[in-house]
Amino acid sequence: MSTRKTALVTGSTSGIGQAIATRFAQGGADVILSGFGDAEEIEKSRSELEKATGVKVGFSGADLTKPDAISEMMAYAAKDFGGVDILVNNAGIQHVSPIEDFPVNKWDLIIALNLTAAFHTIRLAGAASSTRPLPTHLSPHLTNLPMLPPSMALQVSPKQSLLKGPNTACAVMRSALAMSTPRSLKAKSQIQPSHAA
């Protein structure tokens, strides 16, 4: 098993998640990509990143709105990478609509992906680390970084304000994690970008 740290970045087949995974790989961490997209394109970028950086790059196509799929993803991380040291909950979606027209299924999807998926990845990453040796250099870091919708919780357009719900819940979860300091989980912080290009 590699002595490098392993970073799992959800929603990393494109955009901010992909940039984070790339940066971590360039910094010498093994990386597990996660997300949806064209299978050939994902495999191409996975193998190219591996070749360019010399680290191990894996992939999980888990549907993060499904707890069982998240369990399988974490089991894959444990089996092929020895666990997750750095967890980046980046995957997220948004929908803009007045509340009276807001599609119920969209709301459920947003809660499942932007909020509940982070609960499951954090829960399972923590559970896994309690059962394996924790040399200092493998201490789990945990950056709870939901890629929340642009403009975030503080100032949003009236139609986006519904997303304050899951956003704020993520922030509360982050603070709770910070205070609980389980074992060596650390750096439990969020990044709130505005519109990212």
- Positions in the binding site for other proteins (CB under 8 A): 7, 15-16, 18-20, 22-24, 27, 86, 88, 141, 143, 145, 151-152, 154-155, 171, 174-175, 177-179, 186-197
Q: In this complex, which beta carbon is closest to other proteins, that of residue 12 or of residue 65?
A: 12
Q: Angle 18-131-116 (CA atoms, 0-180°, nearest 5)?
A: 45
Q: Is 179 exposed, middle or buried (0-12, 13-18, 19+ CB in 10 A)?
A: exposed
Q: In this complex, which beta carbon is closest to other proteins, that of residue 18 or of residue 116?
A: 18
Buried b (16+ CB within 10 A) or exposed e, 146-155: bbbbebbbee
Q: In this complex, which beta carbon is closest to other proteins, that of residue 109 or of residue 191?
A: 191
**In angstroms, what is the minimal distance from the CB of 163 to other proteins?**
15
Residues 6+ apart with CB under 8 A from 169: 115
Which residue in 72, 74, 28, 63 sits closest to 49, CA to CA? 28
**In angstroms, what is the minimal distance from the CB of 173 to other proteins?**
10
**In angstroms, what is the minimal distance from the CB of 151 to other proteins?**
6
**In angstroms, what is the minimal distance from the CB of 148 to other proteins?**
10
Give the bridge partners for 33, in sequence order.
Answer: 9, 59
Q: In this complex, which beta carbon is closest to other proteins, that of residue 161 or of residue 192?
A: 192
